[in-house]
Amino acid sequence: MRILLVGAGGVGDAIAKIAATRNFFEEMVVSDYDQSRADRTIAWIQNKYGDEVASKFSSVKIDASNAASMAALITELNITHVINAVEPKFVQTIFSACYTAGVHYLDMALSLSEKNEDDPFHKTGIKLGDSQYDLHEQWERAGKLALVGIGVEPGLSNIFARYAADHLFSEIDEVSVKDGGNLSVTDDEGNEIFAPSFSIWTTIEECLNPPTLYEKKKGWFTTEPFSEPEIFEFPEGIGAVECVNVEHEEITMIPRTMDVGRVTFKFGLGSDFIGVLKTLHMLGLDSTAPVRVRSAQGPVEVAPRDVVVSVLPDPATIGPRMTGKTCAGVLVTGKGKDGMPRATYLYHVADNAVTMAAIEAQAVVAQTAFNPLIALELLATGVWEGVGVMGPEEFDAKPFLDLMNSSTGYQEKWVSQERLPASPLRHP
């Protein structure tokens, strides 16, 4: 297995560092538009693990916006598998390049949605991932796998849902992804600052777009951003966090192959974060349409959202100034195998202090990074097999969770926690 890792930002950096501890692949080429970022990651691996381990890694410059040049590079490097670790606006380009080059593809975010222009807060337009799933038969005929949405959310959340369906429940009323934490970032004087722990470009996209919901009787439909607020009690000291609906991939992925009554995604943003996002939208700073602005070199065109990204701290750099934990999990409600009402929260918690000590990566990107590697290891060993465009919920969840938790695997603890079926939103 020869892997091309596209992107050496926060998540890509963490993927390479974790990969350095595994032996299932022959070579990993770390690529970025700024090759020096890839070089820094490899230098860290060399310093941590020595020359022999580092010899499995190399770097290259790549342009994720150019499908033709990417396909040529993939072929030139004799790549077998590509991990897309850049912003979702590049999904279509990288996805297309991999199909052209005839290699297997993995990503952690699906192709972008387009809202229904006539009725955006009730009816769906183009949903997340539609542009990829529409090409399933082409990938299937080519005998190649596009494993989409194999990060933490989507990814681990989908696997939790599949495990619950196979091993814990006889009937599922709702799969509700619950994401929250108590992370904070401070400046040099110790004052808390606004510094999103994940790409602000992606955060704006998923939080300000009309959230998609799924109900078995209605199919997919949309609602207002930040709708249906609820208090959810997160485990391991995080505590009660207000969660709201946001647009997310699980809602479009899970119902394709799983029999569930309802699917939602609730994100614990907090009132301050929601206020900032609403302000950005009010000022038009969430727009991706270029506008003409003045510069020292004369008028230039730039997308307002890209300006926001540029002025905020890089999520890859904030780890040393971050404290707290983040929790990714799925609350499943329905009937257990015994036919009785059941509510179970399956989750994984990442502690920033722990991830920084292990791989010098902040908690959110580290929590995302191990999942595509577990999937690749299962594919490399033949435990997982498939062709076409597939989500992680279409594979057997148990081998993934076993490898994730194992002392000889990735040593990432996951928990199945029972909640009171009558009132599952708070821990009993």
Name the pTM for this structure: 0.92
Alpha-carbon distance of 260 to 332, in angstroms, equals 10
Note the pLDDT of residue 269. Answer: 82
SS3 215: strand
Asked whether residue 272 carries a pLDDT value surpassing 90, the answer given is no
Q: 95: domain CATH number? A: 3.40.50.720
Amino acid letter, 140: E
Taking a C-beta distance cutoff of 8 angstroms, is the pair 116, 222 a contact? yes
In a domain, 408, yes or no: no
Residue 191 and residue 90 share a domain: no
For the chain, the residue count is 428
- Binning pLDDT at 50, 70 and 90, where does residue 425 land? low
Residue 177 class from Cβ within 10 Å (0-12 exposed, 13-18 middle, 19+ buried)?
A: buried
User: How many beta carbons lie within 10 A of that of residue 224, not counting itself?
Assistant: 13
Place of tokens 């004369």: 298
Residue 323 and residue 182 share a domain: yes
Residue 165 and residue 92 share a domain: no
- Binning pLDDT at 50, 70 and 90, where does residue 427 land? very low
In a domain, 124, yes or no: no
Residue 170 and residue 83 share a domain: no
Strand order in 388-390's β-sheet? 57-61, 27-32, 2-6, 81-84, 104-107, 145-147, 388-390
> Which tokens hold the place of 303?
């997308």
In a domain, 302, yes or no: yes
Buried b (16+ CB within 10 A) or exposed e, 277-290: beebeeeeebbeee
What are the pLDDT digits (tens) for 162-216? 999 999 999 999 999 999 999 888 887 888 877 777 678 888 887 888 999 999 9
Residue 239 and residue 308 share a domain: yes
Structural domain boundaries enclosing 98 = 2-107
Q: 313: domain CATH number? A: 3.30.360.10
Q: Which residues are 88's β-sheet partners?
A: none
Q: How far is CA 60 from CA 9, 73, 118, 153, 281, in A?
A: 14, 9, 44, 28, 37
Asked whether residue 248 carries a pLDDT value surpassing 60, the answer given is yes
- Binning pLDDT at 50, 70 and 90, where does residue 424 land? low
Note the pLDDT of residue 194. Answer: 76
Q: Which residues contact 380 (CB under 8 A, 6 or more apart)?
A: 1, 24, 25
Residue 316 and residue 169 share a domain: yes
> Which tokens hold the place of 116?
């229904």
Alpha-carbon distance of 207 to 212, in angstroms, equals 11
Q: What is the mean pLDDT of the chain?
A: 93
Higher pLDDT, 282 or 201: 282
Note the pLDDT of residue 278. Answer: 87
User: How many beta carbons lie within 10 A of that of residue 408, not counting itself?
Assistant: 6
| Least confident stretch, 117-121, 151-155, 186-190, 196-200 | 196-200
Residue 19 and residue 103 share a domain: yes
Structural domains in the chain (count): 2
Residue 217 and residue 318 share a domain: yes
What are the pLDDT digits (tens) for 285-338? 888 899 998 888 888 898 889 888 888 877 778 878 889 999 999 999 999 999
Positive or negative, the CA dihedral 380, 384, 390, 393 is negative
Asked whether residue 256 carries a pLDDT value surpassing 90, the answer given is yes
